[in-house]
Amino acid sequence: MWGFITALGVIAGYVAVLLANIRHFYTDDTESQYAPLWVMLGRHLRDGQFPALIPEHWMAGNYAIEEAGLLNPPQLLIDLIAPSVDNLALYATIVKLIFAIILGLGVYRVCLGYGAKAQWAAVAGVCIPFTGWLLFFDEASWITAFTGTAWMVHAWASGIRYARGRSGPIPTFIFLYLAISVQYIFPAVEAGLMIGAVAIGEIIYQKKWKPSARLLVVAVFAALAGMATYLPSMLSAKVTWRGTSQINNDQFLTVPWSESLNASLPSTMPAFSSWWGYVQPLPVVYIAWFLIPALAFIDWRKARGGARELSAVAIFAVMALMWTAGPGTIGPLRWPARVLPMVALGLLVLVCVLLGRYATFADWRRRGIAGGLLIGLLFVRTFSASPHDVGWHVVSVVGVAALGAGVVWLGRAKGTAAACALAIVSVFPIAYIQVYAAQPTPMSWNLPERRSEMKAAFPEFPGTTLQLADRGFIQPGERTLQGAYGSLVFGNYAKDLEKTYVSGYTPNGHFWFGDMLCMRWDTSVCPDAYRRAFATEPTTGRTIVDLMKVDRVVLQRALYPDVRNQPAPPGWKWVDYPGHEKYISVLERENGLLSTQNGRVADTRNVTATSVSESDMSSRVRVNSENGGQVVFARLGWPGYRATLDGRDIPFKVVAKTFVAVDVPAGTKNGDLELTWRPPGWKIGGLTALAGLIGVGVLQWLYLRGRRPDDETPEGGDGPDTENTPTPEHDLADAIR
């Protein structure tokens, strides 16, 4: 029943947030990166294509290293459905609600695993999706972080059961794999820290190392299965913006511990450096109003008896807390504030388990005074961080004190269930007020929601389009379909429109391509990009746009206000698109679409090359060369290419550090030249995935083999004197689950 209440509570919380801002879950990276990506990937999957690479998407076309989740089955299902949905804001909200319920139930399971009462476990499950960073960043914007966290929490709950002999290894393996394969590195690393904390905690609790060793082995097998997700990124890092591994420290999005712990005043506006200066406009360190004041109502003498069992939770919370303070960059892990959800998770589980096992109302007046002092300390710290919001802080103090008094009274008069019901219900108005107070959100791109309206308003641009524009030139009032978004694309917006644009949203852009066109992560460019695009590459004598086989160049009028006064480059012409002149000037080729001519062959020297077949991942060309020559392809030089001539490997190179080129030997007649791309390390990844599956299969066999018909389900211990050598349940169905 309380699990069902947890799910209903999460749904009610989402309704409260949507009442404050109907687009809260369709903002920032969700609207500009992820939702359009789902649409594009889904279209390719429906066509029977696995979209690991799309060459015409140059800037962000290597989806084996993007946050696409190509090896994550639930994400692939989301992709498959997306093209059938017109309202992307609605779809994103529903997807996030489903994962919020998954997350809430996962936290509920973790709390039960550590012996909390179901009522307090439900409180933790309802609260977790509405903690500060999750609500305002991971849920609103960075959905891969959110989905990874949801799966990781279930891995935690299943890991407890496996370590204590209550379940087989398969659930832990599956949930860890799902957390890893969302293709976002933070949940993968956080899952590793969680498993380490649980393993240490179970050694402390059970005083035996074998259960923890088995858990660690399962985690290793899950990591092996998920290695294929990250090998392409690791092996391509040297040509991307991220580069190779490094450890740096700066103050950007590093959170002092004092701010991380300021978790129980809804008005908190923490002080640390971010995009908006030093004092943040969002309560991103908030966890739950009762988290710190409730410490006064725990029987700490009894709680000491359960310290061993809860050591894993404390270890995990401390590790997360330390990480939030820096270093600022550890290889691909940057911006430590992203770990704030782990701090919230650890502390929320810890406090709710303590309340579920050791809450007391004895001597409630003295404990009430202690709770009031804790609220006072929260006020002092919150006021210090953002003194200009003192009025809101006072209101928060009064509200937290009133809610605390109500919970204490209900707990004494009506029992735990009534007290927890109030704690759950209080989540909804707090979430509403926090989101409403943050409007207008500082994160929104305000991209359109309905794909049918987007496509109806946008020009028909067949072929491949290169846009040269700067998002910073769009004024707030122009971010509409009637304004700039009817003519210009930024981020992955072109994927919503089902148009092929060179640019796209990418945190892993190709360094040399981006440098060549001075193109940034959101598709914005510098003013010199126009000159660079039509500059001649010296070794081929062709322009960059020719080597890319671009059909159209769209120039932002705000960035290039006088460009139409200049003659069009040779082979190009200015084309008018009525109704769009305010925002764009358009160049198109005089001789039609180049992208449809001779496959992806962009240039030849002393070679005749005729395209035989093309796919996103391979180009097959018939070549002839009497004295030897070169074929340049309209393909970006990502690691992973292989060239063969008549079945024999031949070397290839990169022109201008960007374009893949192959030298054809002298005397070649009707040669079969094939250029193929595969994600780097795909063979190794396949072998490690097979090893992980075999390994977990062996563990499951050993688990089933070691069970006995007379085994009984163990009872969890409450203190250090409890014998804890749990035996497995004999129910086979539970093991399979």
Q: What is the pLDDT of residues 544-578, one digit of tens each?
A: 999 999 999 999 999 999 999 999 999 999 999 99
Of 677, 697, 727, which residue is a domain's last?
Answer: 677
- pLDDT computed for residue 717 by the predictor: 40
- pLDDT computed for residue 244 by the predictor: 63
Average of per-residue pLDDT across 583-591: 96
What are 257's two structure tokens?
Answer: 């511990």
Q: 435-469 burial by CB neighbour count: b if 16+ within 10 A, else e?
A: bebbeebebbbbbbbbbeebeebbbebebbbbbbb
Average of per-residue pLDDT across 128-151: 97
The answer, yes or no, to whether residue 246 has pLDDT greater than 90, is no
Confidence of residue 732 (pLDDT cuts 50, 70, 90): very low
- pLDDT computed for residue 13 by the predictor: 98
Q: What is the pLDDT of residues 44-61, one digit of tens each?
A: 999 999 999 999 999 899
- pLDDT computed for residue 257 by the predictor: 84
Are residues 72 and 185 both part of a single domain? yes
Q: Is residue 244 part of a domain?
A: no
Are residues 511 and 608 both part of a single domain? no
The answer, yes or no, to whether residue 249 has pLDDT greater than 90, is no
Domain that holds residue 651: 601-677
Rounded Cα distance between 216 and 173, Å, is 11
Rounded Cα distance between 67 and 145, Å, is 10
Confidence of residue 262 (pLDDT cuts 50, 70, 90): confident
Are residues 275 and 318 both part of a single domain? yes
Taking CA atoms, 463 is separated from 527, 538, 593, in Å, by: 24, 26, 7
Are residues 584 and 634 both part of a single domain? no
Are residues 689 and 649 both part of a single domain? no
Q: Is residue 544 part of a domain?
A: no
Rounded Cα distance between 526 and 510, Å, is 17
Q: Is residue 442 part of a domain?
A: no
- 667: domain CATH number is 2.60.40
Q: What is the pLDDT of residues 57-74, one digit of tens each?
A: 998 999 999 999 999 999
Confidence of residue 735 (pLDDT cuts 50, 70, 90): very low
The answer, yes or no, to whether residue 43 has pLDDT greater than 50, is yes
Tell me the CB-side half-sphere exposure of residue 80, using CA atoms within 13 A.
13
- pLDDT computed for residue 709 by the predictor: 52
Are residues 30 and 154 both part of a single domain? yes
Q: Is residue 445 part of a domain?
A: no
Q: What is the pLDDT of residues 668-703, one digit of tens each?
A: 999 999 999 999 999 999 999 999 999 999 999 999
DSSP assignment of 126-193 equals HHGGGSHHIIIIITTT-HHHHHHHHHHHHHHHHHHHHHTTSS-SHHHHHHHHHHHTTS-HHHHHHHHH
Q: From the CA atom positions of the chain, what is the Rg in Å?
A: 29
Q: Count structural domains, the chain.
A: 4
Confidence of residue 718 (pLDDT cuts 50, 70, 90): very low
Q: Is residue 546 part of a domain?
A: no
Are residues 62 and 131 both part of a single domain? yes
Average of per-residue pLDDT across 642-650: 96
Are residues 635 and 653 both part of a single domain? yes
Q: Is residue 432 part of a domain?
A: yes
Q: Report the Cα 629 to chain-centroid distance in Å.
A: 45
Average of per-residue pLDDT across 103-127: 97
Rounded Cα distance between 267 and 378, Å, is 11
The answer, yes or no, to whether residue 728 has pLDDT greater than 60, is no
Are residues 673 and 692 both part of a single domain? no
Of 404, 437, 470, which residue is a domain's last?
Answer: 437
- pLDDT computed for residue 713 by the predictor: 43
- pLDDT computed for residue 733 by the predictor: 41
Percent with pLDDT over 70 in the chain: 96
Q: Is residue 595 part of a domain?
A: no
- pLDDT computed for residue 720 by the predictor: 37
Q: Is residue 362 part of a domain?
A: yes
Helix (H) or strand (E) run with residue 652 in it = strand 652-655
Confidence of residue 199 (pLDDT cuts 50, 70, 90): very high
- Amino acid occupying residue 209: W
pTM of the model: 0.93
Are residues 197 and 210 both part of a single domain? yes
Average of per-residue pLDDT across 630-643: 97
Are residues 673 and 708 both part of a single domain? no
Are residues 665 and 690 both part of a single domain? no
What are 588's two structure tokens?
Answer: 């198109």
Q: What is the pLDDT of residues 599-611, one digit of tens each?
A: 999 999 999 999 9
Q: What is the mean pLDDT of the chain?
A: 93
Q: What is the pLDDT of residues 317-356, one digit of tens each?
A: 999 999 998 888 888 888 999 999 999 999 999 999 999 9
